[in-house]
A and B are shown apart, each in its own frame.
Chain A
Amino acid sequence: MSDPRLVIENLSKRYWIRRAGSTEGGGTRLDRLKSFFSIPLASDLLHAKELWALKDVSLSVEPGRVLGVVGSNGAGKTTLLKILARVIAPTGGRVRGSGRVVSLLELGAGFDDESSARENIYMNAALNGIPRDVVMRRFDQIIEFAELQEFVDTPVQFYSSGMYLRLAFSVAINMEPSVLLADEILAVGDAVFQERCLRKVHELAREQGLTVLFVSHDMEAVSRICDRVIWLKDGQLHRDGQADEVVTEYQNAAWQLLAASANGSELRGSSHAGKYGEILDVKLVSADGREIGSPPRNEDVYVRTRFRTHRSKTRARCTVELNSKGVLVLRSTQPFLYDVGADQAYEAHVKIPANLLADTGYTVNVGVTLVKGEDEEHALVKDKALSFMVYGDAEVNALGSSLQRKGVVDPQLDWTIVVEPNVLRA
């Protein structure tokens, strides 16, 4: 194993957050003069609150490693990348490394909108300390990968965000990076280009030992391209390990947080009650009517919605949505129930068949539509009415980790396989 490319030791970054009522624009004239020349004020230090965006983060990364960085907003991912890119200075600790660090911190950072792709390529090279003649040799390669042959001399302000991304990415990988810092950047591109970028990143990592730090909220992309993932939480290194393990753990934690917030919203009394009726509760129940928290994958489960109607001579209809990983997995709507009575409670059950869902977290949104006459329509909605986690069967889990990745559903489909008649031999 070769020497690490990056060694991060006890890296910390502190920000001072001003509180309301501090001296910005106020205070005595002397105070304003002092803050003008950035001489620290006693009152500032009293009013300011310190915030550790990063605290004692240590890790080392070898050449050729694609390291995913995950964490919720404000966990310190971007701060870490900005320190590595030298855009901000750390408060404590240090980073040792070798080779050129190229960053893709934000789409179009380091690009001048009014200049053409050609001029921007030269400028970016200069920003990375690469002489013009070296870039000249690389020029066609950059344009070719970005597929911008026809737009070389168009000012980049007229580019679509996809073209912008292609140019930015192509420039970055052609700057001879030893370390590439990518912050949420690939989210913009279309699937085809994303795929090409990821393949290129892998190729450079394998063949030239490029080290990549990849920050993303797209867990699917993270587990696909990274072989190791670190999870930052409140500025600290929370987990560091195999991509699949850390991503799964992170997603489970995110799901629990979501479930907690869903329970909280019940108290706030959203639009689930109105003059036509109200949604009483939403529960997950088993076939024999037991309430369950986390169903096994191989059993039927029901989403039970209890609602009450206030007016007679209305029609009622219940809708259930299942979400997972930020995607609407499915929506099912019950046929209209005619002539509901006033002040009558109903229970709607929808069956989710066994072996349809994947072993991951889901949230349920429920809606009840009440229609009176021709167009008097009233909708009761209960967002995130329920969250649950599906547990898979043990045999599936025993398979290799590469087979464990799943979509938002994991249905058992019918397969047939036959032996093809061998025509040539006959």
Chain B
Amino acid sequence: MSYAPESVVGAWTIEPRQSTVFAKLAEVWRYRHLLGYFATRTLQQLYKRSSFGWLWMMVRVTAPIGLQGLIFGAALGMESSDGTPYALFMLCGQTTWILFDRSLLFITRSMERNKKLIAKVYFPRLILPIAAVSPALMFLTILSIALAGVDVYFWHRRGIWFIPLEWRLLLAPVAIVISLAFAIGIGFWTSVLQARHRDIRFGLRYTIGFAMYATTVLYPISQINSPIVRRFVELNPMECSIELFRYATVGTKLEISDAVFTYQLVAIVLVALSGIWFFNREESASVDKM
């Protein structure tokens, strides 16, 4: 039995004090194989026992959006602010929103689902919440394909590419990273708390459902008449990601001021940092309490 050089482990110490966040992140990098493993496992568990797994996944994401498109677009005649077809406008908003919403829900349950493992085997716990974004990334892929399909449809109908292949399209991944960072940041808090109190998940479901209406997923911010409501919506950090994604794809100009945009970005960064801090502080205590 020869020892492979890449797996040689040097000297180590175990001490009561938690190692720093940076040391933890370095460790996540060393255990990166595990990231892919947990990511696939979360995906597999999603539709493991069903015969039409992939199909269900498509339906589950696209059906509610199609329905919303019909009700708000066709029946109620909602419009976007700049002449973009409502279906495209809304789909852009939903793509970003669903990425955030699903990530957060899956991250929240990540520690609880792997309780048994956490109590028996050591690995950097930070990996669990991060790997739990995999289903959301799958939904993002499905919605991106849907977005392309709808774009082709409108090109066929009206002869215009509403999502042109321009440099600004590169901002779309930036918007995605922002909303993922926000979801993971909140998720660091909720996953630890969920492992101790089951109430978190129930409360979160309703909060997220409510938050969607406080974000301009279904309507443009310019349609809000009341300045108080507008202020309220601007307080929501997710707004910047949605606006940025719309600008990158259908080219809707940012409808929030630079100051508001900056505030939202800073808020997301603060949430993410506080999340890592809290997670790192609590993870070992969590095991004791489980």
Contact = CB atoms under 8 A, between A and B. Distances in A.
Contact of B123 (A15, A36, A127): A127
B120 A126 contact: no
Interface in A135-182: 176, 178
B120 A88 contact: no
Closest 6 CB pairs of A and B: A109-B120, A86-B122, A95-B14, A89-B284, A110-B121, A126-B33
Given A131-B7, A208-B1, A109 B121 contact: yes
Contact of B15 (A85, A94, A131): A94
Contacts of A95: 13-14
Contact of B10 (A37, A94, A98): A98
Contacts of A15: 288
Interface in A79-132: 83-100, 103, 105-106, 109-110, 112, 114, 122-123, 125-127, 129-132
Interface size class for chain A? Answer: 35 or more
B12 A98 contact: yes
A88 B3 contact: no
B120 A129 contact: no
A28 to B, nearest CB: 17
10 contacts: A88-B287, A89-B18, A90-B15, A90-B16, A96-B11, A96-B12, A100-B7, A103-B120, A125-B33, A129-B30
A84 B1 contact: no
A337 interface: no
A2 interface: no
B282 A38 contact: yes
Contact of B16 (A92, A134, A176): A92
Contacts of A38: 282, 285
Contacts of B12: 96-98
Contacts of A86: 14, 122
A30 to B, nearest CB: 16
Contacts of B285: 38
Given A89-B284, A126-B31, A109 B14 contact: no
B34 interface: yes
A99 B13 contact: no
A132 B37 CA distance: 11
A126 B16 contact: no
Residue of B6, B121, B284 ringed by the most chain A CB atoms within 10 A? B121
A298 to B, nearest CB: 50
Contacts of B284: 88-89
Given A94-B16, A131-B6, 6 more contacts: A36-B193, A87-B121, A94-B15, A96-B12, A109-B119, A176-B1
B48 A114 contact: yes
B33 to A, nearest CB: 4
Nearest to B197: A36
A103 B16 contact: no
A103 B121 contact: yes
Interface string B234-264: 0000000000000000000000000000000
A134 B7 CA distance: 8
Contacts of A132: 33
Interface of B: 1, 3-4, 6-7, 9-16, 18, 30-31, 33-34, 37, 41, 48, 116-123, 193, 197, 282, 284-285, 287-288
Contact of A94 (B13, B18, B118): B13
B287 A98 contact: no
A97 B288 CA distance: 23
B122 A176 contact: no
Interface string A215-246: 00000000000000000000000000000000
A109 B48 CA distance: 22
Contacts, number: 96
B288 A87 contact: no
A348 B4 CA distance: 70
Contact of A87 (B9, B30, B37, B287): B287
Given A90-B15, A105-B120, A110-B121, A122 B7 contact: no
A112 B40 CA distance: 13
Contacts of B7: 100, 129-131, 134, 176
A131 B1 CA distance: 16
Contacts of B1: 176, 208
B9 A178 contact: yes
A109 to B, nearest CB: 3
Nearest to B116: A109
Contacts of B33: 125-126, 129, 131-132
B280 to A, nearest CB: 12
A87 B12 CA distance: 15
A106 B117 CA distance: 10
Contacts of A87: 118-122, 287
A95 B3 CA distance: 24
Contacts of A100: 7, 9
Interface in A357-400: none
Contact of B41 (A85, A112, A131): A112
Given A38-B282, A112-B41, A129-B31, A89 B11 contact: no
Given A91-B16, A100-B7, A208-B1, A127 B287 contact: no
Given A126-B34, A129-B30, A176-B7, A90 B288 contact: no
A122 B37 contact: yes
Contacts of B37: 122-123, 126
B289 to A, nearest CB: 8
A123 to B, nearest CB: 6
A131 B7 CA distance: 8
Contacts of B193: 36-37
A143 to B, nearest CB: 16
Nearest to A110: B121
Nearest to A207: B1
Interface in A37-74: 37-38
Nearest to A138: B1
B118 to A, nearest CB: 8
A194 B222 CA distance: 74
A90 to B, nearest CB: 5
Nearest to A11: B14
Contacts of B14: 83-84, 86, 89-90, 94-95, 97
A109 B119 CA distance: 9
Contacts of A97: 11-14
A110 B117 contact: yes
Nearest to B15: A94
A36 B285 CA distance: 13
A167 to B, nearest CB: 15
